[in-house]
Amino acid sequence: MSATLLDASDGILTIEIKGKISPATLASVQGQILETLQAWGGGAMLLLCDEFEGWANGDWSDTSFQMQADNLLRKMAIIGELQWKDMAMAFTGQGYRPFPIAFFESGLTESAKAWLSAE
């Protein structure tokens, strides 16, 4: 399992999530994400979840990242296998957060980047 900040350019942070993610693994990359968003004054996030296997057991109640980052995020795109769409949208709080979140099937990275770049 891993969560890695792959790229931060053109106002888009690209994060790759592999395997079964745990709260600690996710928290390990959230600091980098927040630091970059603060330096930029905001941006978008692209989550590459092509090799995602689900959520590990643990305490998922910490929402401190959301509280700090939500006012800095303008859009979030998730790329993954269609079987994870509903759970990923629920997990990321689509519809409850102040920015749009969209899911794209694996292989549609360019479409996701275009959506993130559009005003």
CATH of the domain at 71: 3.40.50.10600
Cα(1)–Cα(21) distance, integer angstroms: 6
Which of 66, 77, 88, 81 shows the shortest CA–CA distance to 21?
88
How distant is the alpha carbon of residue 31 from its chain centre? 13
Contact between 17 and 53 (Cβ < 8 Å): no
pLDDT band at 88 (very low <50, low <70, confident <90, very high): very high
pLDDT at 119 over 80: no
Q: In what order do the strands lie in the sheet with 73-80?
A: 2-9, 12-21, 43-55, 73-80, 101-105
3-state secondary structure of 79: strand
Q: In the chain, pLDDT over 70 holds for what percent of residues?
A: 100
Digit-coded pLDDT (tens) for 26-39: 999 999 999 999 99
Residue 49 is predicted with a pLDDT of: 96
Residue-number span of the structural domain to which 14 is assigned: 2-117
Domains held by the chain: number: 1
3-state secondary structure of 5: strand
Residue 15 is predicted with a pLDDT of: 97
